[in-house]
Amino acid sequence: MSEYIEYDQDGVSVGRVEKRIFTFADPPGEMVLESGAKLGPVTIAYETCGELNREKNNAVLICHALSGDAHVAGYHDKDDPKPGWWDIMVGPGKGIDTDRYFVICSNILGSCIGSTGPCSYNPETIEPYALDFPVVTIGDMVSAQKALINHLGIPMLHAVIGGSIGGMQVLEWCVRYPEMVKSAIPLASTTRHSALAIAFNEVARQAIMADPNWNNGKYYDGPKPALGLAVARMIGHITYLSDDSMRLKFGRRRQDKSDFSFKFDADFQVESYLRHQGKKFVERFDANSFLYITKAADYFDLGREHGDGSDIDALSKTRAKFLVISFTSDWLYPTYQSRGIVKALKKNGLDVSFCEIEARWGHDAFLLPNERMTTLIKGFLAHAAD
């Protein structure tokens, strides 16, 4: 039970949650990655909400996106300025009802928020891995999650849910461990990156690597590549929004009511907003982790990795029921990509529901309050065991 109950505009929060760690793959039993490299020991940070029932069949795994973490809902402390990143969806009576489900969220392999990644200490050198950290894949991230689920003694997941890169993990779970996934909800996701998505990621990576403080990844005992990472985040953040959302939120409004500065200051509100987002990101994220996670997303190709190159062949391995959700204004992972997932699932005769939700806010719409999305997820989870 939570130590205190917090109320918010969407209902009751899960209250206080605690970050936990699970460590496995101690040498000589290192984790073998898809690249062939070995990694160990491996630490995974995770949090849980709700209670695991006696039958251990009510577990829901939530997979986070690029810059997310294990803190999906609730508070670490009463003084926290805001709750977990999907608190609007996870909690008592909410879309993912913690009165019914045992919710697990872990920080992905390669990240910098508790799990092993390039900023972790290499046991062989007692220094941060930096670029000595092996390149990881979405499949490697899911394999690490599987080790955690085994550690928790859960034989089957009631559902795996995630948006964006989290949605890639959902799809990977379904084809890699089909016997363990009863139902799946990929939101605003894809089976492979388009050239456009890869291009944006590459420009963001180049911004980091062009920062003189990046120092070929070895910046942990000196100044960080803050400017490069801030620019990378600004580039990424643009792809998460939409033309409509930026027009409604900013338009061409100036930051100050006075005339233009006639300098290279942030004259427009949108410029100031992006600079603010970049600065905030630098304070909490590691530049090398950004490189590794975006590369993992670019490498992801479900059909190539698990079939003859086609999504139909790859998804023939899964047994899960699916709810696929896209958003009208998402131009990073447009609806046609979600429809492709649905088509491949139907070709295999699988149970799949699909909804394209009208939303102005672009790719990030899955993180924002939406009554229709909440209703869909709640109803789907309730009937997934039928």
User: Contact at 8 Å (CB) between 300 and 307?
Assistant: no
211 flagged as catalytic = no
Q: How many residues does the chain have?
A: 386
Of the residues 97, 311, 330, 364, only one is catalytic, namely 330
Tell me which of 120, 164, 289, 316 is the catalytic residue.
164
With helix as H, strand as E and coil as C, how does the chain read?
CCCCCCEECCEECCCECCCEEEEECCCCCCEECCCCCEECCEEEEEEEECCCCCCCCCEEEEECCCCCCCCCCCECCCCCCCCCCCCCCEECCCCEECCCCEEEEECCCCCCCCCCCCCCEECCCCEECHHHCCCCCHHHHHHHHHHHHHHCCCCCECEEEEECHHHHHHHHHHHHCHHHECEEEEECCCCECCHHHHHHHHHHHHHHHHCHHHHHHCCCCCCCCHHHHHHHHHHHHHHHCCHHHHHHHCCCCECCCCCCCCCCCCCEHHHHHHHHHHHHHHHHCCHHHHHHHHHHHHHCEHHHHHCCCCHHHHHCCCCCEEEEEEECCCCCCCHHHHHHHHHHHHHCCCCEEEEEECCCCHHHHHHCCCHHHHHHHHHHHHHCCC
Is 363 one of the annotated active-site residues of the chain?
Answer: yes
Distance, in Å, from the CA atom of 237 to the CA atom of 277, rounded to the nearest integer, reads 8
Contact 77, 131 (CB under 8 A): no
C-alpha–C-alpha distance, residues 133 and 117, integer Å: 7
Q: Which residue has the tokens 């149970």?
A: 351
Of the residues 193, 326, 363, 364, which is catalytic? 363
Q: Is 76 a catalytic residue?
A: no
Active-site residues, by number, are: 164, 330, 363
